[in-house]
């Protein structure tokens, strides 16, 4: 859970980014502000992205001074930045306790996407993911989740042109659901950061219980499930989380979500050469998807040192896609971006920066 206001105060100045409406009401208590003025404070922080209380011109001067003395505008520090040949930019962001995460800016014509993290490291342990090699350090707070957007908006053109969001960076979002929901409430709020839920996708490895609860939340955006194998035996080998949440359980969750009339859920499927990319696996994926409101995104495995897999070749990838399309399953092959700077899917691990690991 995120820190209470009292706990934040014990640590020193209160971080403004991450405080929701209730937190701001508590912060402003005793300053003589009316409810509409507290709402103005919220709009200054998230709607206008102005973190200096002294600049909040429609707030009484005494209250501005008091808030400036009690709060901090601290954001993650940009400790490194790398540029890919395809225009993708990866940012190494240092947190207040010295831990570091990565976030990625992905331009594609007029379209912009940012890939953000939800944890420092990850405990899921997928065999094809570099982040898994880090292990799990800790959850990100709501402020640290939102701080990534403030930093990327400052460093890139996304605020000007608009952007999509994918929670596909470091960590398993469903393992940090409470803090994620707090951040999403601010992110999606029209008076907050104003990003439509339709432009946000949260990915999960398949924590079924958390996914079910999250799907009932008022802030739940688009959803994406990392499938990667059509049998329990193979999926458990690639993704240990399958030992607890097997395919039957996951399909039951997807069936329930399909009946509720939600947007199509994306099934992410990383194609590993000679492992999960054959015709037999494609037929099994089609069987899994039958009757579900889903689409399949086929993703080429992004090679990295120490990962014991190779990408599927183009012929096998196209054949896999053809099987799914023949069964009426909406399917696309997703283009990987930023591979040359280890910014692509499964490659975020803080270990390719000058000087070694962060």
- Is 229:301 a contact under the CB 8 Å cutoff? no
Extract the runs of DSSP E, i.e. beta strands, from the chain: 14-15, 71-72, 77-83, 89-94, 100-108, 111-115, 119-121, 136-139, 164-167, 200-204, 222-226, 265-271, 294-300, 331-334
- Is 141:134 a contact under the CB 8 Å cutoff? no
* Distance of alpha carbon 177 from alpha carbon 172, whole angstroms: 9
* Distance of alpha carbon 41 from alpha carbon 26, whole angstroms: 12
Query: Looking at 28, 40, 102, 281, which residue is catalytic?
Result: 102
- Give yes or no: 345 in active site: yes
The Cα angle at residue 198 between residues 35 and 226, in degrees rounded to 5: 120
* Distance of alpha carbon 58 from alpha carbon 265, whole angstroms: 43
Tokens 């739940």 locate to 220
* Distance of alpha carbon 97 from alpha carbon 144, whole angstroms: 11
Query: Looking at 28, 122, 220, 345, which residue is catalytic?
Result: 345
Cβ count within 10 A of residue 307: 18
* Distance of alpha carbon 329 from alpha carbon 327, whole angstroms: 6
Q: Which residues are catalytic?
A: 102, 345
């Amino acid at each position: 859970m995120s820190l209470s206001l009292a706990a934040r105060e014990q640590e020193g100045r209160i971080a403004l980014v991450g405080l929701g409406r209730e937190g701001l009401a508590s912060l402003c208590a005793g300053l003589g502000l009316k409810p509409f003025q507290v709402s103005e404070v919220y709009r200054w922080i998230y709607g206008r992205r102005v973190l200096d209380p002294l600049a909040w011109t429609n707030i009484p001067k005494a209250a501005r001074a008091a808030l400036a003395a009690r709060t901090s505008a601290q954001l993650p520090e940009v400790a490194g930045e790398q540029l890919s040949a395809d225009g993708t930019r990866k940012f190494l962001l240092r947190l207040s306790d010295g831990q570091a995460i990565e976030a990625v800016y992905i331009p594609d014509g007029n379209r912009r996407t940012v890939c953000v993290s939800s944890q420092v490291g990850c405990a899921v342990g997928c065999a094809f993911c570099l982040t898994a090699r880090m292990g799990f350090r800790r959850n990100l707070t709501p402020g640290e989740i939102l701080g990534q957007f403030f930093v990327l908006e400052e460093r890139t053109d996304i605020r000007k042109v608009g952007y999509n969001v994918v929670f596909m960076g470091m960590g398993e979002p469903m393992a940090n659901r409470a803090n994620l929901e707090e951040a999403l409430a601010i992110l999606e709020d029209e008076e907050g950061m104003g990003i439509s839920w339709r432009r946000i996708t949260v990915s999960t490895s398949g924590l079924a219980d958390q996914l079910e609860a999250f799907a009932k939340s008022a802030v739940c955006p688009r959803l994406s499930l990392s499938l990667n194998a059509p049998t329990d035996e193979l999926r458990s080998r690639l993704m240990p989380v399958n030992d607890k949440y097997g395919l039957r359980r996951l399909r039951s969750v997807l069936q329930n979500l399909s009946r509720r009339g939600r947007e199509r859920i994306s099934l992410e499927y990383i194609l590993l050469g000679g492992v999960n990319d054959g015709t037999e696996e494609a037929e099994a994926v089609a069987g899994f998807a039958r009757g579900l409101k889903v689409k399949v995104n086929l993703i080429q495995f992004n090679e990295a040192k120490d990962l014991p897999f190779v990408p599927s070749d183009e012929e096998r990838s196209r054949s896999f896609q053809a099987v799914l399309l023949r069964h009426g399953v909406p399917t696309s092959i997703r283009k990987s971006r930023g591979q040359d700077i280890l910014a692509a899917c499964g490659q975020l691990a803080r270990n390719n920066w000058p000087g070694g690991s962060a």
